[in-house]
A and B are shown apart, each in its own frame.
Chain A
Amino acid sequence: MRFITFIARRVVHSIFVLLGLSIVIFIISRIMPGNPARMAVGPRAPQYVIDELSRQMHLDEPLHVQYYYWLRDALHGDLGMSLVTRRPVADDMKEFFPATLELTLFAGFIMAGGGIFIGILSARHKDKWIDNLLRIVSYLGVVTPSFIFAIFFLLLFGMALNWMPTMGRLSPGVSPPPTITGLITVDSLLSGNLTAFFDALWHLILPGIALAMGGLAQESRITRSTMSDNLTKDYIASARSLGIPEGVIMRKFLLKPSLIPTISILGLDFAGTMANAFLVEVIFNWPGSSRYGINTMLRKDLNAIAGVVLTMGVVFIVVNIVVDIVVGLLDPRIRLAPQRGE
């Protein structure tokens, strides 16, 4: 029961935060100097067309009135019109967000799987040469920004060696699967199109790994340090002395508690990855909502900027709640702990 209350409080808290975020975003997108209506209709349109569009966009009304319209529309799923693509921002997000989601999820798998794997490896062979090597590599992974990895990968694997594709989600000759989820890998598996599946995977590798590097390094470091801490704990020693095989110890006693900090960080890293996707998508010309976000930011497309940031906020908050739930399930200590203020 306590657990449910815990989650419920988080959700209410998050809704409040989202509301506040929407206000901040709205203010940001409206204090823009200049007239966005003019930019929308083209350089040589007559004044009456500009005036009409301004009226439609409620640009001449006071700020709080504009906010009211904007929020009301947003709750109905209408985020306004993008000045760049000239169609509803909601449609743009529906088209582009799955691509970013797919890339981020792929990077997430690499981060989680690779990070944990490397972390365990490092912990088992602590202070030997392999551990030191991995530690250096993961350190570099943490400090190097993803866009630099992206450029290097592009240069090396895409251009110099010409192994990997450098743009887009599918090769030109491959026909895309029908859109069910928007994730090409999932859709192609669902419709039995294996060529598309592998081709999509092939295109995901370079940007996915570039994106995952930071998180991967982070995960491996945390896993390593938690594992090596836990390895010295008393209960492990007693388990060993009882004759329980090493493998069972690893799986039953070590994995769960060691993974807790890893998973909490994973949530944060996932959001960080979404943010880094902005730069990586630009470099690899990945048709995702982040590249769309950069384009619209450079072109000062108010509604689109607001839409992208809001989406990111929602995703981040949802991920945090999910992580809290998962960690709560894994670690009884957290969900049974007294709440703040009790």
Chain B
Amino acid sequence: MRTLRVLSAMMVLALLVGLVASCASPAATPTPTPRPAAEATPTPPPPPEKTILRITFSWPTYIDPAVGSDFSSSSSLCNLYDTLVFPTTEGGVVPNVAESWETSADGLTWTFHLEKGIKFHNGSELMASDVAFSMNRMLEIGEGYAYVFLGTVESATALDDYTVQFKLAKPSGIFLISLVRLYIADEEQVMANVVTPGPYGDKGDYGKEWLLTHDAGSGPYKVKEFPLEEYLLMEKYDGWFGTFHPNAPDEAKFIATTEPATIRTLMSRKELEISDQWQPVEALEALGKIEGVDVAAFPSLTEFYYMVHTKKAPTDDIHFRRAMAWAFDYDAAVALEWPGTQQSQGPVPALCAGHNPDVFVFHRDLDKAREELAQSQYADQLDQYPVEVHWITDVPAEEKWALLFQANMADIGIDVEVVGTPWTAVVEETADIETSPHIVTIYVSTDFPEAGSLLKVRYHSDAAPTWSQNEWLLDDELDAMIDDSLSTVDQKERYAKYYALQDYIMDLCPSLFLYDQIQKHAYQSAYVDFPAARGEVIPLMGLNMFAARIGVTGP
């Protein structure tokens, strides 16, 4: 019995000590930091603590410039690496690493002159050879953003230390803009860290393993710690050639979670500065109520599509598709979203360069829907042809629209099955025409702000076996029109072709266009200067998380 008493006493003591110690340690309880007085105080102010910008993301994140291409990867890449040109809020580009450039008369040769004295994180200088290396590496590896350049760029060569030349296979109206996705890596560092043997012959693994957790860039931030499944911690690189926001954070940490509960706790303890954009509306409302936290909402050139399989019964019938488009309650769908969200006007987001303002737009009209349905070949056998809608379980809110769709279709007698599918399964099934479901609901962002690039990724036959297209249009005429528009160098001509493309697509009615997504992030407005919240939005995926332009003065 005495042993028992001693044991229990020890346990209680240990627990008490633990409690006391953790209350004493600053990390467990949030203590408000007193704001330093503006006037001069007799005692010198304490040295400024390091500021840190923490943002949550949906994972995984790949910081290899030839591999990463989704939202979190793009956000990381723009902080770690520099590009030849930098995007503006108007959708154009300004010189960045490249000071100036010329094109040949036939548009097939582009020559860029680089700024001198740009240093990589390890101190060596950025040369034209590094630019050529980065392009060639991306083309050879073929992942990430490579698809933007494959088929267009034939070669990249360094003419001298500060001049790099690209030869194109065909003229391209978007080549210049697409260079915002060519992240320049240090050839020396990458090649010094290749692992042999590897799939790239004498280049071994081309540095892919090293670049999983390290960076070879020149951007405003460099990798400090990267435990792969948890977070990416970057620290400020003072030798960056660009201009920092006066209060740019000393560290930037991208955290791998989108759990509303976790984000709520972190935000209220001021341990998170900006949330991810996948929080459900209910969670955002609750976050907005926290003191010092606001919700930044801005258009993001992302559209929510119901991609309809045009080669599978019953959605292969154009009248059937039109019936669905007339029956859907777009207003109700928009009402479920953040206030200010607008129904989509056609296949391209309204704010995207090249959007056709006069494109035809559907609205809910049950009479027209029934009319169209009556003309379809499946009109008398509706019960034998259920339509399957796959929504992506990684974004739980998508279920709402799927169920709304189901209820709307029931109004005209169409039977709908709703199936939650994880993202990886969606990627897998949309790769094959047989396994693609009738409808898959996906948010698609433009990789850069041109209607043409979005239309290519959405409706071109090359893109048919990818997740960005479930329609399987396989329309040769459309392909030719898209390719032609992208090769048109004159902007006015190009946009006119885009308009024609959008009309053509609306005639085919291959998708339902729900709404242009407003990107929403909860952020600590009390001490974070978030340019996107002020309306300075860069219409390029990931660029609004460019930490060099975000100011952090707290908590």
Contact = CB atoms under 8 A, between A and B. Distances in A.
A161 B287 CA distance: 17
Contacts of B60: 84-86
A72 to B, nearest CB: 18
Given A42-B144, A172-B27, A174-B27, A166 B199 contact: no
- Which among A35, A42, A158, A251 has the greatest number of chain B C-beta atoms within 10 A? A42
A41 B466 CA distance: 12
B309 to A, nearest CB: 18
Contacts of A165: 28, 265
A202 B18 contact: yes
B227 interface: yes
Contacts of A39: 424, 427-428
Interface string A42-69: 1111101100110010000000000000
B199 A198 contact: no
Interface string A192-212: 001100110110000000000
B147 interface: yes
Contacts of A173: 26-27
A108 B553 CA distance: 44
The contact size tier of chain B is 35 or more
A31 to B, nearest CB: 15
Contacts of B144: 42
Contacts of B229: 85, 92, 96, 287, 292, 295
Interface string B266-281: 1010010000000000
Interface in B212-247: 212, 227-230
A92 B427 CA distance: 24
A154 B466 contact: no
SS of A interface (majority): helix
Contact of B69 (A38, A42, A49, A251): A42
B159 interface: no
Interface in B397-427: 422, 424-425, 427
Interface in A248-279: 250-251
B261 interface: yes
Interface string A289-312: 000100100111000000000000
Interface stretch (B3-11, B120-128, B181-189, B372-380): B3-11
B209 interface: yes
Contacts of A56: 199
B7 to A, nearest CB: 7
Given A117-B8, A201-B18, A43 B27 contact: no
Nearest to B21: A198
Contact of B142 (A48, A172, A247, A287): A48
B150 A46 contact: yes
A43 B466 CA distance: 6
Interface residues of A, number: 55
A246 B1 contact: yes
B28 A171 contact: yes
Contacts of A298: 422, 424
B88 interface: no
B264 interface: yes
A198 B265 contact: no
A285 B259 contact: yes
A202 B265 contact: no
B84 interface: no
Contacts of B257: 167, 285
A200 to B, nearest CB: 10
Interface of A: 34-35, 38-39, 41-46, 48-49, 52-53, 56, 84-87, 92, 95-96, 113, 117, 120, 154, 158-159, 162, 165-168, 170-174, 194-195, 198-199, 201-202, 246-247, 250-251, 285, 287, 292, 295, 298-300
9 contacts: A46-B146, A53-B199, A117-B4, A154-B261, A158-B261, A162-B265, A162-B268, A168-B230, A195-B21
Nearest 7 pairs of A and B residues by beta carbon: A171-B27, A198-B21, A247-B1, A202-B22, A44-B147, A173-B27, A299-B424
